Structures are given as C-alpha cells and as structure tokens.
Amino acid sequence: MKHEFDITIPAGQQRQRIDVYLAAHVENATRSKVQQAIRSGEVLLNGKRVKVSTLIAPEDVIHVQLSRPAPPEVLPEKIPLDIVYEDDSLLVVNKPAGMVTHPAYKNYSGTLVNALMHHTHSLSEPHPLRPGIVHRLDKDTSGLLVVAKNETVHQKLAKQFALKTTEREYWAIVWGVFKKTNGIIEASLGRSKSDRKKVAVVAEGKHAVTEYEVLQQFEYLALIRLHLRTGRTHQIRVHLAHIHHPVFGDPTYGGRKIVAGGIEGKKKAEVENLLTKISRQALHAKKLGFVHPVKNEMMRFESELPEDMKAVLDFLQGRN
C-alpha cells in the first residue's frame, strides 16, 4: 500500500538534508525508511530524483511515496473500561486521556479497541483495526464515545454523525481573556505543509466550523464550552490556537507556552505550577446525545471532568 503526498518547504526553513527533514516531518517515517524511499525514486524534489544528502530550500516541493506495511493482528487486552451505558446494540464509554481510540502505526496495543475486544465479542467491523468505532477522540482528549455492536447499529449511528444530528459538547480550559462571551470560528483545515504530523488552517483545506461559549473567565485562562458543526481532525485545538486561545497544556498547538501578556515573577511561577497539574490538552468530551438505532429514543449522557482538569479549575476558582 502506498501513501502519496506533497510537502512545500516553508519560507525561513534553513537548508537541511532532505532525509533529515523528512524523517522529522513525515508521520511514522524513520530516517532509514526515508533514505530507502529516496534511493528507490519514491521521493522527488521539484519533480526530480535526488540523493539522500541533497539539501532542501524554502519553496521547494517534495513529492513523497511511502510504502505501508500490513498491520499486525489486533488482540483483546484486559484493560479497565469506564462504561457509562451498555445494551445489546451499543455501549457508551468514558475514554481516559492517554488512551488511543483504535490501533494504528506504533499503537497496536493498549487502545480502546483492545479493551473493547476483551470486554465483548459483539462489535461491528467497519475496518479490521476499528471494530465498533463510530467516531473517535484524540489520544489525549478525554470523554464520551459511543461504540456499535453490529453493522446495522453502526451504519445508523454513523449516519447521525454524518448528518450532524448527534449532540456533542466539549469543555476546555484555554489561554487568554475573551472579548466576547461567545463566538463562531470558521476556518478551513488541512495537513500542515511544513509538518505532516500537524493540522493547520489552510485556504485549500476542508471547511470547519466551531462554536464556543465562555463559561467562566479567569485572569489569564478561561473555561469554555464548545460545539462542533463539522468534525475535522484536531479541529477544536487548531481553531482555538488560530484565534490565539490555545487549549491549556496542549504540547502540539502552543498550549504549554505562556500566551497571555503580563505574566512575570510570581505569576509566571504560578503558571508553571499549573502546567505540572496537566500533561495534555485540557479538553474533555463532556456530553453526548444520539437517537438509539433500535429503541428510536433520544439518549443523552454526561461525564464529570477528569481529575487533572478539576485540579486546574480548583486552583483558578480558589483565586477568584
């Protein structure tokens, strides 16, 4: 199986060996794998074959074709699950931060799917690596997910998600002081041209819309509620970073840097202490609602904020 894409070298990029650059900017690529692809002609620089030592420059376009090995077998694992609801058709789980939703490259064990396969033998099979998975959350985003137990239920749930008739509400702790208590972020998203591991706001990307409402404003952070009109990869995290309110603690999209102004001395130490309370983005899928595919009843679920987000809020609320 081939994975094919283009990378445009951004302005300001220092000259660097092409194999070193690709190993750092292509997801799941090792330097040896990149070198092999270059030597076999699967990597072209501005339409031409190159050596592994060729130096790249700003505005260069790299065309990449990488072979993907067949995935290993996914096995059941005895991993604790926080099951909020379960019947013969589906189950709703509260996924902890740090758990990958389904197996993928370098994550073929310890995932939610591995745990589900141990818990039940009844799971839909839309994909060999994703039994039961109708929708997903980022590894370090916690919260509610619905899982299908058969193909009919899966298709009906998937249709609800596609038509945006499900109810999903996220809570996040984010940087900065909001000028308005609510708003809509509309910006197209796609893979970053400079780093394939990231998503970015790009003109040619997919349409994406996020609604937000400020629930509580603190001195330099805020607790907000979010609703998605679209469901793009990393949508909330990238959209909030785009409007200069990155999710607190997010190591990928600027949430571990001090974003708000005027934070110095004791206050800076306070922020650094707060960051020790959470090692990931402070983002939680708090509410989930959908029509049960068999009972034809509206089902609504809500989960408590996880302990790391509570610890940050407890500190902030204690200061107010």
Q: What DSSP assignment string belongs to 277-303? A: T-SS--EEEEEEEEE-TTT--EEEEE-
Q: Which CATH architecture is the domain 83-163 placed in?
A: 2-Layer Sandwich (3.30)
**Averaged pLDDT score across all residues of the chain:** 92
Fold for 170-284, please state it.
Answer: Pseudouridine synthase (3.30.2350)
For the cut 90, the answer to whether the pLDDT of residue 310 exceeds it is yes
For the cut 90, the answer to whether the pLDDT of residue 101 exceeds it is yes
Q: Which residue has the higher pLDDT, 8 or 225?
A: 225
Q: Which residue has the higher pLDDT, 205 or 72?
A: 205
Among 52-56, 126-130, 248-252, 268-272, the minimum mean pLDDT is found in 126-130
Domain with CATH 3.30.2350.10 in the chain: 83-163, 170-284
Q: Under 8 Å CB-to-CB from 270, ≥6 apart: which residues?
A: none
Choose from 10-14, 71-75, 244-248, 257-261 the range with maximum mean pLDDT.
244-248
* Phi, psi torsion values for 268, nearest 5 degrees: -65, -40
pLDDT digits (tens, 9 = 90+) for 284-304: 999 999 999 999 999 999 999
Tell me the C-alpha to C-alpha distance, in Å, between residue 271 and each of 127, 185, 237, 265, 299.
43, 27, 20, 10, 39
Predicted confidence at residue 96, as pLDDT, reads 97
Predicted confidence at residue 191, as pLDDT, reads 86
Predicted confidence at residue 262, as pLDDT, reads 76
Which of these is catalytic: 82, 87, 138, 195?
Answer: 138
3-state secondary structure of 204: coil
Percent of the chain with pLDDT over 90: 74
**Alpha carbon distance 277, 148 (integer Å):** 34
Predicted confidence at residue 182, as pLDDT, reads 97
Query: End-to-end distance of the chain based on CA atoms, in angstroms?
Result: 56
Tokens 């409402």 belong to residue: 213
Q: For 131, what's the count of Cα atoms within 13 Å in the CB-facing half-sphere?
A: 21
Residue 6 is a catalytic residue = no
Percent of the chain with pLDDT over 70: 97
**Alpha carbon distance 9, 18 (integer Å):** 11
Predicted confidence at residue 69, as pLDDT, reads 62
Q: What DSSP assignment string belongs to 205-223? A: SB--EEEEEEEEE-SSEEE
Predicted confidence at residue 2, as pLDDT, reads 66
Arithmetic mean of pLDDT, 258-272: 85
Q: What is the value of pTM for the model shown?
A: 0.78
**Helix 18-25 vs helix 31-39: angle between axes, to the nearest 10 degrees?**
130
Predicted confidence at residue 275, as pLDDT, reads 95
Predicted confidence at residue 319, as pLDDT, reads 60
Q: Under 8 Å CB-to-CB from 183, ≥6 apart: which residues?
A: 211, 212
3-state secondary structure of 116: helix
What would the CATH number be for the domain defined by 2-67?
3.10.290.10
Predicted confidence at residue 71, as pLDDT, reads 64
Predicted confidence at residue 127, as pLDDT, reads 78
225 burial type by CB count under 10 A (0-12 exposed, 13-18 middle, 19+ buried): middle
For the cut 60, the answer to whether the pLDDT of residue 320 exceeds it is no
For the cut 90, the answer to whether the pLDDT of residue 73 exceeds it is no
8 Å CB contact between 9 and 56 = yes
Domain with CATH 3.10.290.10 in the chain: 2-67
Q: With bands split at pLDDT 50, 70 and 90, how would you rate the model's confidence at 157?
A: very high
For the cut 80, the answer to whether the pLDDT of residue 42 exceeds it is yes
Q: Which residue has the higher pLDDT, 254 or 30?
A: 254
